[in-house]
Structure 1
């Protein structure tokens, strides 16, 4: 079964969550937004019925409901996880393993599914060891339930990617604000985009460089700057490079160059630590 993230986004309750339910603990159910379609509401009702059946001890009813959901939505990861958890509760580990392995073939990085499957593998291994070594207590799989199909289930890799993407957006916005401060000739605001120890090859320290930039910003009667072909590339989780074509014009000077800015996250503030004109 090939995983299709687009399909997951389109089916009712497609975004899953890492909110998990351990057997015996009851937590409130997440409700769909008022704007949900009738199909989405019907799906959520069926999903919640399975949760309620499991919490009341009707595991056969929960299994039947979840099997019905999977017939209609065969790539529903939350339903797959919960069906496996129900089988685990009934000690039907082979069935749970089959459900989880099938779901993991769709996306092998889903953390909740992987955790439940690993419990079954560990249980099977302990049983095998008992036939060779002296008897010891076997840890039974517990099974974890996903409470709602209305929110997102992310792997650590996906969460890290989301963080990087957010930082890229922040830096892109900072580049535009940096440009505006330069155009508006607001020296203090412009300099604040640079790291406190920033300098260039032509100056011995930050203070000398900042004094030079003060003159460059305040001397012209006007400044116009246009940035084109802006490209944002993460170098590390805390360092992002931005390249672009910069068209500069004032009453005294005019040019167009390819430029690189390297931004670094310093105390949750993205600052310029490197600025270069690219000649290649």
Structure 2
């Protein structure tokens, strides 16, 4: 800061310029902190407060891709599909690398029973990344609805929406990756071709692609055990731990649904990476209040889990569907687990 002041002084700049720079910096810091708060409000179903905060953010940064995406999610969950469709449609033009925008636009078209537009939009997204399970699921339901329409037309019947169609359509409320620079053009079939950035693929195979090798973090309480250490003297390799990892994840989600806080919190490792710099005690208190504070039944579905076990550490990626009362939320989640005394526990959660 002293160097900046010295530079402005030597350049002969007046105090007005300095005040303007400080104001801009302060505004930038404030708006940067708003979106995580908006995300939390959306996850809690507090949509009115979330909309007010995201509008405040957009007043300062009207071109913010992340804020516009969140506003579209909020409007969609607030039963305002027309405005949500307008936002996501514009995002596919302004930031065509956002597959989540394509997914949500296609899902909203399908909710409006505009299945032709839904199909074209979701197929465009599928060309970019065939592995995004939300897109493939929504496209499957769209194909089913189009087939039902054709069948009803052939029989001369009036076609209605497919049973459970809206319930099965998945809206994503988080961006899985930051925006990138435009690359090749994608023909969407709706409007002009748009530029698309090359994105890393998300594999749907049994293995999860990991950018670089990883190793378990050293712990002070309990030391994670590695599968190699349990090999018998005869050199026989023990059974694959994938089933045990998947079972641990299932037990974690079931404890969450039962609101069994003892079992739920026990699913986390002693050295669990607590988010937002909280203490473990404060985090456990917050989770307990949030889960037990919900009167409605909690339902969690884990879709297409992908498990990778390497060097005693497991990574599990899946699409998590959450519902409590009228609030529904779907998000891509990545859990990192390690084995403690033969039990797989969560080391980090993203």
- TM interval, short-chain normalised: 0.3 to 0.5
* TM-score computed with the length of structure 1 as normaliser: 0.39
Task: Return the index of the structure with the highest Cα Rg.
Answer: 1
* TM-score computed with the length of structure 2 as normaliser: 0.32
